[in-house]
């Protein structure tokens, strides 16, 4: 009976939505850094006050606001432009240099997405097929704002070029003992960086939990999430939570929903390979202590 009622609500919603329907949703994205900081190699030169300040800056660096403009077939997802807080200028610049920001366009009718990213000073235009998650629809519901949302879960392969997915590798007792011994010696900056780089790892897959509302019957959501019978209002991957805080439907002011066109065109796989190759080069550079005056990057743009 519940499934029949759900279908009726879903179909009625689609009938009531006009051809020129358009909506806007505001999302707050937060990435937990607690586990990352917990497993970071300790530095005896860092005081508890400095450690706390670092944790706060890192936490703020991963707190962002995004705007999703959508119609029945396409959407544009973009970070809200705002001034960096005092002390956050370098962090914001680093996030953009490492592939953050950009405009994410997806068309669920044509099953494609287009995203622009800047990495190491070079602009890329990623064009590819929308990834299709095998969503499992659950009976559990909850209220998000004025909307009743249904739960859905899926297993998602990790995007290795998304730096939010980086984890600090858990160290065993032998590694911790070795680290304690190393603290007795004076380490060079390059050695400390090498230790840090060697501790990073990326999981192969992650469980996604999404909450969608059939009251807004569009096949859309934040980032590259789609494929559910209603707008996705919340997504969680255990590390990052994206939560809708505001929805405006059929505003008089219409937005031009179209993909960006600037940047070197690549597929997602090609972009990931470029990122991982550069990361390995940097890791090798630090390990061999060959970073004197060398900045890496791609050369002149």
242-284 pLDDT, tens per residue?
A: 999 999 999 888 899 999 999 999 999 999 999 888 888 877 8
Give the residue with greater pLDDT, 221 vs 182: 221
Angle, helices 48-61/89-97, rounded to nearest 10 degrees: 50
Residue 299 lies in a domain: no
Q: Is the pLDDT of residue 188 over 50?
A: no
pTM above 0.85, yes or no: no
Residue 294 lies in a domain: no
Containing 59, the helix (H) or strand (E) segment is helix 48-61
Range of the domain at 16: 2-287
Residue 292 lies in a domain: no
pLDDT digits (tens, 9 = 90+) for 71-90: 999 999 999 876 655 555 55
Distance CA 64, CA 92 (A): 11
Alpha-carbon dihedral of residues 8, 13, 19, 21, nearest 10 degrees?
Answer: -160
Domain count, the chain: 1
Residue 120 lies in a domain: yes
Residue 157 lies in a domain: yes
Q: Hey, what are 37's tokens?
A: 């900081």
Rounded alpha-carbon distances, angstroms, from residue 108 to 112, 132, 233, 234, 257 = 7, 10, 17, 19, 13
User: How many Å separate Cα 98 from the centre of its chain?
Assistant: 12
Residue 301 lies in a domain: no
188-203 b/e with 16+ CB inside 10 Å = b? eebeebbbebebeeee
DSSP assignment string, 15-39: HHS-TT--EEEEEEEEE--HHHHHT
Residue 293 lies in a domain: no
User: How many Å separate Cα 194 from the centre of its chain?
Assistant: 25
Residue 296 lies in a domain: no
Sheet strands (E) in the chain? 23-31, 63-70, 74-79, 103-107, 112-119, 122-129, 136-144, 147-157, 167-168, 200-201, 205-213, 231-236, 240-249, 264-266
Give the residue with greater pLDDT, 289 vs 25: 25
């Amino acid at each position: 009976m519940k499934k029949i009622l759900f279908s009726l609500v879903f179909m009625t919603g689609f009938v009531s939505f006009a051809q020129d329907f358009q909506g806007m949703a505001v999302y707050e994205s937060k990435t937990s850094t607690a586990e990352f900081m917990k497993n970071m190699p300790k530095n005896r030169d860092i005081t508890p006050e400095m450690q706390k300040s670092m944790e706060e800056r890192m936490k703020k660096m991963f707190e962002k606001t995004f705007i999703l403009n959508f119609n029945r077939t396409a959407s544009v997802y973009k970070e809200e432009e705002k001034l960096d807080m005092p002390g956050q200028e370098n962090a914001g610049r680093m996030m953009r240099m490492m592939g953050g920001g950009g405009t994410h366009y997806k068309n669920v009718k044509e099953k494609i997405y287009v995203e622009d990213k800047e990495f190491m000073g070079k602009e890329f235009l990623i064009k590819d097929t929308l990834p299709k998650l095998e969503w499992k629809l659950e009976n559990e519901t909850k209220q998000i704002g004025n909307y009743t949302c249904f739960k859905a879960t899926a297993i998602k392969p990790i995007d290795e070029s998304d730096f939010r997915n980086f984890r600090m590798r858990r160290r065993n007792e032998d590694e911790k003992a070795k680290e304690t011994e190393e603290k007795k010696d004076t380490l060079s900056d390059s050695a400390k960086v090498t230790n840090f780089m060697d501790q990073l790892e990326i999981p192969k897959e992650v469980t996604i939990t999404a909450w969608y509302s059939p009251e807004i019957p569009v096949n859309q959501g934040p980032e590259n999430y789609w494929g559910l019978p209603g707008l996705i209002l919340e997504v969680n991957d255990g590390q990052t939570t994206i939560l809708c805080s505001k929805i405006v439907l059929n505003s008089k002011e219409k937005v031009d929903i179209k993909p960006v066109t600037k940047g070197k065109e690549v597929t997602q796989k090609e972009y990931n390979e470029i990122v991982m190759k550069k990361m390995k080069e940097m890791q090798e550079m630090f390990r061999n202590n060959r970073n004197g005056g060398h900045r890496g990057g791609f050369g002149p743009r």
